[in-house]
Amino acid sequence: MPRILFAAKPEQWPAYETPLATALAEAGIDAEIVHPGADPASIDYIVYTPFGPVQDFTPYTRTKAVLSLWAGVERIVGNETLTQPLCRMVDEGLERGMVEWVTGHTLRYHLGIDFYRTHQDGVWRQGEQVPPLAPDRSVVILGLGALGAACAKALAGLGFKVTGWSRTPKTLEGIDCVHGAEGLKMALERAEILATILPNTPETTNLLNAESLARMPKGAVILNPGRGNVIDDDALLAALDAGQIGGATLDVFKTEPLPADHPYWAHPKVTVTPHIAAETRPASAARVIAENIRRGEAGEPFLFRVDRAQGY
Protein backbone atom coordinates (compact mmCIF):
# COMPACT_ATOMS: atom_id res chain seq x y z
CA MET A 1 0.00 0.00 0.00
CA PRO A 2 1.68 3.30 -1.06
CA ARG A 3 2.17 5.92 1.63
CA ILE A 4 1.41 9.46 0.58
CA LEU A 5 2.71 12.41 2.55
CA PHE A 6 0.43 15.45 2.39
CA ALA A 7 3.11 18.11 2.59
CA ALA A 8 1.08 21.17 1.76
CA LYS A 9 0.16 23.72 4.42
CA PRO A 10 -1.75 21.96 7.23
CA GLU A 11 -4.72 24.30 6.79
CA GLN A 12 -5.17 22.95 3.24
CA TRP A 13 -5.87 19.44 4.48
CA PRO A 14 -9.61 19.87 5.16
CA ALA A 15 -10.13 20.96 1.54
CA TYR A 16 -8.18 17.97 0.20
CA GLU A 17 -9.11 15.18 2.60
CA THR A 18 -12.31 14.03 0.90
CA PRO A 19 -11.32 14.82 -2.73
CA LEU A 20 -8.03 12.88 -2.35
CA ALA A 21 -9.72 9.89 -0.75
CA THR A 22 -12.39 9.89 -3.49
CA ALA A 23 -9.90 10.29 -6.33
CA LEU A 24 -7.62 7.54 -5.01
CA ALA A 25 -10.59 5.19 -4.61
CA GLU A 26 -11.77 6.00 -8.15
CA ALA A 27 -8.26 5.27 -9.45
CA GLY A 28 -8.37 1.92 -7.68
CA ILE A 29 -5.55 2.81 -5.28
CA ASP A 30 -5.54 1.62 -1.73
CA ALA A 31 -3.20 4.15 -0.11
CA GLU A 32 -2.38 5.52 3.29
CA ILE A 33 -2.21 9.31 3.60
CA VAL A 34 0.13 10.58 6.30
CA HIS A 35 1.24 13.98 7.56
CA PRO A 36 4.58 15.61 8.42
CA GLY A 37 6.17 13.77 11.28
CA ALA A 38 5.81 10.37 9.56
CA ASP A 39 9.08 8.55 8.90
CA PRO A 40 10.48 10.11 5.65
CA ALA A 41 12.02 6.78 4.65
CA SER A 42 8.52 5.24 4.50
CA ILE A 43 7.02 7.73 2.02
CA ASP A 44 6.24 6.73 -1.58
CA TYR A 45 4.76 10.01 -2.85
CA ILE A 46 4.84 13.59 -1.62
CA VAL A 47 1.98 16.00 -2.33
CA TYR A 48 3.83 19.30 -2.27
CA THR A 49 3.27 23.03 -2.11
CA PRO A 50 6.08 25.59 -1.93
CA PHE A 51 5.27 26.97 1.50
CA GLY A 52 4.67 23.55 3.06
CA PRO A 53 6.87 21.78 5.59
CA VAL A 54 9.13 19.73 3.30
CA GLN A 55 12.11 21.54 1.81
CA ASP A 56 14.84 18.90 2.28
CA PHE A 57 14.08 15.79 0.23
CA THR A 58 17.24 13.91 1.21
CA PRO A 59 15.59 11.64 3.82
CA TYR A 60 12.80 10.61 1.43
CA THR A 61 14.83 7.71 0.12
CA ARG A 62 11.99 5.60 -1.30
CA THR A 63 9.85 8.44 -2.67
CA LYS A 64 8.89 7.78 -6.28
CA ALA A 65 7.62 11.28 -7.10
CA VAL A 66 6.99 14.73 -5.72
CA LEU A 67 3.57 15.89 -6.92
CA SER A 68 3.14 19.66 -6.82
CA LEU A 69 -0.29 21.19 -6.24
CA TRP A 70 1.02 24.32 -7.96
CA ALA A 71 1.56 24.83 -11.68
CA GLY A 72 4.55 27.11 -11.08
CA VAL A 73 7.56 25.21 -9.76
CA GLU A 74 10.22 27.91 -9.53
CA ARG A 75 10.53 27.48 -5.77
CA ILE A 76 11.43 23.78 -5.98
CA VAL A 77 12.96 23.23 -9.41
CA GLY A 78 16.44 24.29 -8.28
CA ASN A 79 16.30 22.38 -4.97
CA GLU A 80 19.48 20.30 -4.99
CA THR A 81 18.16 17.86 -2.39
CA LEU A 82 15.42 16.84 -4.83
CA THR A 83 16.51 13.79 -6.80
CA GLN A 84 13.03 12.31 -7.21
CA PRO A 85 10.86 13.04 -10.28
CA LEU A 86 8.93 16.30 -9.94
CA CYS A 87 5.47 16.72 -11.49
CA ARG A 88 3.63 20.01 -11.68
CA MET A 89 -0.10 20.63 -11.56
CA VAL A 90 -2.05 20.77 -14.77
CA ASP A 91 -5.64 20.90 -13.65
CA GLU A 92 -8.90 21.71 -15.41
CA GLY A 93 -9.85 23.99 -12.49
CA LEU A 94 -6.64 26.02 -12.90
CA GLU A 95 -7.18 26.16 -16.64
CA ARG A 96 -10.78 27.32 -16.42
CA GLY A 97 -9.87 29.95 -13.82
CA MET A 98 -7.05 31.31 -15.97
CA VAL A 99 -9.24 31.40 -19.08
CA GLU A 100 -11.91 33.34 -17.19
CA TRP A 101 -9.42 35.82 -15.70
CA VAL A 102 -7.61 36.47 -18.99
CA THR A 103 -10.81 36.64 -21.05
CA GLY A 104 -12.48 38.92 -18.52
CA HIS A 105 -9.63 41.41 -18.38
CA THR A 106 -9.13 41.28 -22.16
CA LEU A 107 -12.81 42.13 -22.70
CA ARG A 108 -12.62 44.86 -20.10
CA TYR A 109 -9.89 46.66 -22.03
CA HIS A 110 -11.27 45.73 -25.44
CA LEU A 111 -14.68 47.22 -24.62
CA GLY A 112 -13.28 50.26 -22.79
CA ILE A 113 -15.30 49.42 -19.69
CA ASP A 114 -13.09 51.60 -17.48
CA PHE A 115 -13.80 54.62 -19.68
CA TYR A 116 -17.52 54.46 -18.90
CA ARG A 117 -16.87 53.76 -15.20
CA THR A 118 -14.74 56.90 -14.92
CA HIS A 119 -16.86 59.14 -17.19
CA GLN A 120 -20.27 58.60 -15.62
CA ASP A 121 -20.86 62.32 -15.29
CA GLY A 122 -24.22 63.10 -16.86
CA VAL A 123 -22.78 63.50 -20.37
CA TRP A 124 -24.30 61.16 -22.99
CA ARG A 125 -21.24 59.97 -24.90
CA GLN A 126 -22.86 57.88 -27.58
CA GLY A 127 -20.45 57.31 -30.44
CA GLU A 128 -17.42 58.71 -28.62
CA GLN A 129 -15.70 55.43 -27.87
CA VAL A 130 -16.68 52.72 -30.32
CA PRO A 131 -14.36 49.76 -29.84
CA PRO A 132 -13.30 47.69 -32.83
CA LEU A 133 -14.89 44.28 -33.08
CA ALA A 134 -12.77 41.37 -31.88
CA PRO A 135 -11.51 40.34 -35.36
CA ASP A 136 -9.91 43.79 -35.60
CA ARG A 137 -8.22 43.53 -32.19
CA SER A 138 -4.83 41.87 -31.92
CA VAL A 139 -4.18 39.97 -28.71
CA VAL A 140 -0.87 38.30 -27.87
CA ILE A 141 -0.29 35.51 -25.39
CA LEU A 142 3.27 34.94 -24.21
CA GLY A 143 3.47 31.26 -23.22
CA LEU A 144 1.48 28.58 -25.00
CA GLY A 145 1.56 25.89 -22.34
CA ALA A 146 -1.40 24.28 -20.62
CA LEU A 147 -2.77 27.65 -19.51
CA GLY A 148 -1.58 29.96 -22.28
CA ALA A 149 -2.88 27.69 -25.05
CA ALA A 150 -6.28 27.44 -23.34
CA CYS A 151 -6.50 31.23 -23.09
CA ALA A 152 -5.38 31.69 -26.70
CA LYS A 153 -8.05 29.27 -27.90
CA ALA A 154 -10.78 30.93 -25.81
CA LEU A 155 -9.89 34.38 -27.16
CA ALA A 156 -9.70 33.08 -30.73
CA GLY A 157 -13.13 31.55 -30.10
CA LEU A 158 -14.43 35.04 -29.32
CA GLY A 159 -13.05 36.16 -32.66
CA PHE A 160 -9.89 38.00 -31.57
CA LYS A 161 -6.79 37.94 -33.76
CA VAL A 162 -4.54 35.89 -31.50
CA THR A 163 -0.79 35.48 -31.68
CA GLY A 164 0.92 33.09 -29.28
CA TRP A 165 4.60 32.92 -28.42
CA SER A 166 6.49 29.95 -27.02
CA ARG A 167 10.05 28.70 -26.71
CA THR A 168 9.64 25.83 -29.15
CA PRO A 169 7.61 25.87 -32.40
CA LYS A 170 3.90 25.07 -32.03
CA THR A 171 0.81 24.66 -34.18
CA LEU A 172 -2.55 25.61 -32.70
CA GLU A 173 -5.64 25.95 -34.84
CA GLY A 174 -6.79 29.55 -35.16
CA ILE A 175 -3.66 30.96 -33.46
CA ASP A 176 -0.70 32.56 -35.19
CA CYS A 177 2.09 30.74 -33.35
CA VAL A 178 5.55 32.27 -33.22
CA HIS A 179 8.63 31.38 -31.20
CA GLY A 180 12.15 32.49 -30.37
CA ALA A 181 13.63 35.98 -30.36
CA GLU A 182 12.32 36.98 -33.81
CA GLY A 183 8.88 35.64 -32.97
CA LEU A 184 8.83 37.73 -29.82
CA LYS A 185 9.61 40.93 -31.73
CA MET A 186 6.82 40.17 -34.18
CA ALA A 187 4.38 39.42 -31.37
CA LEU A 188 5.23 42.57 -29.41
CA GLU A 189 4.77 44.78 -32.46
CA ARG A 190 1.19 43.61 -32.91
CA ALA A 191 0.17 43.35 -29.25
CA GLU A 192 -2.70 45.72 -28.53
CA ILE A 193 -3.48 43.53 -25.53
CA LEU A 194 -0.74 41.23 -24.25
CA ALA A 195 -1.07 38.53 -21.59
CA THR A 196 2.01 36.87 -20.20
CA ILE A 197 1.45 33.33 -18.95
CA LEU A 198 5.08 32.31 -18.73
CA PRO A 199 6.88 30.39 -15.99
CA ASN A 200 9.50 32.03 -13.79
CA THR A 201 12.87 31.04 -15.23
CA PRO A 202 16.14 32.92 -15.80
CA GLU A 203 15.17 33.26 -19.49
CA THR A 204 11.81 34.90 -18.78
CA THR A 205 13.12 37.33 -16.16
CA ASN A 206 12.57 40.98 -17.15
CA LEU A 207 11.45 39.89 -20.60
CA LEU A 208 9.08 42.86 -20.59
CA ASN A 209 11.62 45.65 -20.19
CA ALA A 210 12.08 49.15 -21.60
CA GLU A 211 13.12 47.82 -25.00
CA SER A 212 10.35 45.26 -25.39
CA LEU A 213 7.66 47.62 -24.05
CA ALA A 214 8.78 50.24 -26.58
CA ARG A 215 8.13 47.75 -29.39
CA MET A 216 4.46 47.47 -28.51
CA PRO A 217 1.84 49.73 -30.13
CA LYS A 218 1.33 52.96 -28.19
CA GLY A 219 -1.37 52.57 -25.57
CA ALA A 220 -1.14 48.75 -25.48
CA VAL A 221 -2.33 46.96 -22.40
CA ILE A 222 -0.53 44.30 -20.36
CA LEU A 223 -2.07 41.48 -18.35
CA ASN A 224 0.23 39.44 -16.13
CA PRO A 225 -1.28 36.37 -14.53
CA GLY A 226 1.94 34.33 -15.07
CA ARG A 227 4.83 35.32 -12.83
CA GLY A 228 6.10 38.68 -11.57
CA ASN A 229 9.70 38.07 -12.64
CA VAL A 230 8.68 38.61 -16.28
CA ILE A 231 8.16 42.36 -15.83
CA ASP A 232 10.83 44.96 -15.22
CA ASP A 233 8.66 47.01 -12.85
CA ASP A 234 10.55 50.31 -13.21
CA ALA A 235 10.33 50.02 -16.99
CA LEU A 236 6.60 49.29 -16.87
CA LEU A 237 5.92 52.21 -14.53
CA ALA A 238 7.90 54.53 -16.82
CA ALA A 239 6.05 53.22 -19.90
CA LEU A 240 2.69 53.74 -18.17
CA ASP A 241 3.61 57.27 -17.15
CA ALA A 242 4.78 58.07 -20.67
CA GLY A 243 1.55 56.70 -22.20
CA GLN A 244 3.44 54.03 -24.15
CA ILE A 245 1.52 51.44 -22.15
CA GLY A 246 -2.14 52.31 -21.60
CA GLY A 247 -2.90 50.05 -18.67
CA ALA A 248 -1.85 46.95 -16.82
CA THR A 249 -3.63 44.35 -14.76
CA LEU A 250 -1.14 42.47 -12.64
CA ASP A 251 -1.85 39.38 -10.58
CA VAL A 252 1.71 38.32 -9.75
CA PHE A 253 4.71 40.26 -8.53
CA LYS A 254 8.41 39.94 -7.84
CA THR A 255 7.59 40.25 -4.14
CA GLU A 256 4.35 38.78 -2.84
CA PRO A 257 2.39 40.01 -1.03
CA LEU A 258 2.96 43.21 -3.01
CA PRO A 259 4.42 45.65 -0.43
CA ALA A 260 1.87 48.25 0.74
CA ASP A 261 4.06 51.12 -0.47
CA HIS A 262 4.61 49.71 -3.96
CA PRO A 263 3.75 52.29 -6.66
CA TYR A 264 1.49 49.76 -8.43
CA TRP A 265 -1.13 50.01 -5.68
CA ALA A 266 -1.85 53.69 -6.25
CA HIS A 267 -1.14 53.92 -9.96
CA PRO A 268 -4.27 55.05 -11.85
CA LYS A 269 -3.50 52.80 -14.82
CA VAL A 270 -2.74 49.67 -12.83
CA THR A 271 -5.15 47.09 -11.46
CA VAL A 272 -3.64 44.81 -8.80
CA THR A 273 -5.17 41.43 -8.11
CA PRO A 274 -3.59 39.33 -5.33
CA HIS A 275 -2.39 36.17 -7.14
CA ILE A 276 -5.94 34.94 -7.68
CA ALA A 277 -6.00 34.50 -11.46
CA ALA A 278 -6.20 30.73 -11.19
CA GLU A 279 -6.52 28.57 -8.10
CA THR A 280 -5.83 24.86 -7.95
CA ARG A 281 -9.22 23.24 -7.31
CA PRO A 282 -9.07 20.31 -4.87
CA ALA A 283 -11.53 18.01 -6.68
CA SER A 284 -9.87 18.14 -10.09
CA ALA A 285 -6.33 18.43 -8.69
CA ALA A 286 -6.88 15.34 -6.54
CA ARG A 287 -7.74 13.38 -9.69
CA VAL A 288 -4.44 14.46 -11.26
CA ILE A 289 -2.51 13.43 -8.12
CA ALA A 290 -4.31 10.07 -8.01
CA GLU A 291 -3.65 9.41 -11.69
CA ASN A 292 0.06 10.07 -11.20
CA ILE A 293 0.15 7.72 -8.21
CA ARG A 294 -1.65 5.09 -10.27
CA ARG A 295 0.97 5.56 -12.97
CA GLY A 296 3.81 5.34 -10.48
CA GLU A 297 2.43 2.12 -9.05
CA ALA A 298 1.91 0.66 -12.54
CA GLY A 299 5.42 1.64 -13.65
CA GLU A 300 4.01 4.01 -16.29
CA PRO A 301 5.53 7.44 -17.06
CA PHE A 302 4.27 10.29 -14.88
CA LEU A 303 2.13 13.06 -16.31
CA PHE A 304 3.36 16.68 -16.34
CA ARG A 305 6.96 15.97 -15.38
CA VAL A 306 9.01 19.09 -14.92
CA ASP A 307 12.01 19.47 -17.21
CA ARG A 308 14.45 20.58 -14.56
CA ALA A 309 17.04 21.75 -17.07
CA GLN A 310 14.49 24.13 -18.62
CA GLY A 311 13.14 25.11 -15.20
CA TYR A 312 9.44 24.45 -15.90
Catalytic sites, residue numbers: 227, 275
The reply on whether position 203 binds ligand NDP by CB under 6 A is yes
Residue among 183 and 246 whose Cβ is closer to ligand NDP: 183
Secondary structure letter of residue 40 according to DSSP: G
Report the residue count for the chain.
312
Q: CA geometry: angle at 39 spanning 38 and 44, to 5°?
A: 90
In a 13 Å sphere around the CA of 63, the CA atoms on its Cβ side amount to: 29
The reply on whether position 225 binds ligand NDP by CB under 6 A is yes
SS3 content of the chain, % helix, strand, coil (to 5): 35, 20, 45
Checking DSSP bridges between strand 193-196 and strand 138-142, what pairing results, if any?
parallel
Closest-approach residue to ligand NDP (CB): 145
Does residue 97 contact residue 154 with C-beta atoms inside 8 Å?
no
The reply on whether position 192 binds ligand NDP by CB under 6 A is no
Least distance (Å) from ligand NDP to the CB of residue 71? Answer: 4
Amino acid at 17: E
Q: How many CB atoms lie within 10 A of CB 21?
A: 14
Among 145, 228, 282, 296, binds ligand NDP (CB under 6 A): 145
Residue among 251 and 297 whose Cβ is closer to ligand NDP: 251
Residue among 44 and 287 whose Cβ is closer to ligand NDP: 287
**Contact positions with ligand NDP (CB under 6 A) in 155-174:** 165-168
**Contact positions with ligand NDP (CB under 6 A) in 271-290:** 275, 277-278
According to DSSP, the residues that pair with 223 across neighbouring strands are: 195, 249
Amino acid at 234: D
Count residues contacting ligand NDP (CB under 6 A)? 30
The reply on whether position 147 binds ligand NDP by CB under 6 A is yes
Applying CB under 6 A, which part among 1-9, 111-119, 141-149, 235-243 lies near ligand NDP?
A: 141-149
- Using CA atoms, how far apart are residues 219 and 129, in angstroms rounded to an integer? 15
- Using CA atoms, how far apart are residues 49 and 6, in angstroms rounded to an integer? 9
Least distance (Å) from ligand NDP to the CB of residue 128? Answer: 34
The reply on whether position 195 binds ligand NDP by CB under 6 A is no
Does residue 164 contact residue 194 with C-beta atoms inside 8 Å?
no
Amino acid at 292: N
Least distance (Å) from ligand NDP to the CB of residue 264? Answer: 15
Q: CA geometry: angle at 222 spanning 220 and 227, to 5°?
A: 160
In a 13 Å sphere around the CA of 265, the CA atoms on its Cβ side amount to: 8
**CB neighbour list of residue 8: distance below 8 Å, 6 or more residues apart:** 16, 47, 48, 49, 52, 69
Applying CB under 6 A, which part among 44-52, 76-84, 194-202, 214-222 lies near ligand NDP?
A: 194-202
The reply on whether position 215 binds ligand NDP by CB under 6 A is no
Applying CB under 6 A, which part among 8-16, 118-126, 219-227, 235-243 lies near ligand NDP?
A: 219-227
The reply on whether position 197 binds ligand NDP by CB under 6 A is yes
**Contact positions with ligand NDP (CB under 6 A) in 42-81:** 71-72
Among 176, 251, 291, 297, binds ligand NDP (CB under 6 A): 251
Q: Which residues bind ligand NDP (CB under 6 A)?
A: 71-72, 90, 94, 143-148, 165-168, 197-201, 203-204, 225-227, 251-252, 275, 277-278, 312
